[in-house]
Amino acid sequence: MSQRLNISSGSPFEDTFGYCRAVKTGNLLEISGTVAIIDAEKVTADDFYAQTYNIIERIAVVLEEAGSSIKDVVRTRIFTTDISQNLEIARAHAHFFGDVKPTTGIYEISALIAPQYKVEIEFTAWVN
């Protein structure tokens, strides 16, 4: 059996919900659903592109800390509260993954954890 490594973000929600930012087992890395950091300047509550970009930019750091990278992502799962914004979400996704081309899905859901969040993404990556 592969050794399991839990990677924490330091969020208090991890203990409340009983999860961690990412789990690495063997060569597989699974990253929990991640929302953007809304700062009202670069990333606002109504900017689907900026939220998606912020999420992927931050997860790139998690990937590297785990010994992986954007080019090793094999799947993304995108959840949004407004599927009509899919092209803005896709534009940010393609900025990072245009050449990588992981499998993906985009799903409209009724709400995320707070109303300012419009996009949440889960990632699966290979660790070499």
Convert the pLDDT of each residue in 31-47 to its tens digit: 999 999 999 899 999 99
Domain 34-121, second-level architecture: 2-Layer Sandwich (3.30)
Decide if pLDDT at 128 tops 90: no
Q: What is the average pLDDT across 116-126? A: 98
> Is pLDDT larger for residue 96 or for residue 40?
96
Average confidence score pLDDT of the chain: 96
What one-character DSSP code corresponds to residue 48? H
Nearest partner of 57 among 95, 18, 101, 90, judged by Cα: 95
In terms of phi and psi (left: phi > 0; alpha: psi -120 to 50; beta: otherwise), the region of 18 is left
Tokens 């992986």 — which residue? 68
Nearest partner of 31 among 57, 52, 62, 1, judged by Cα: 62
Q: Are 43 and 95 in contact (CB under 8 A)?
A: no
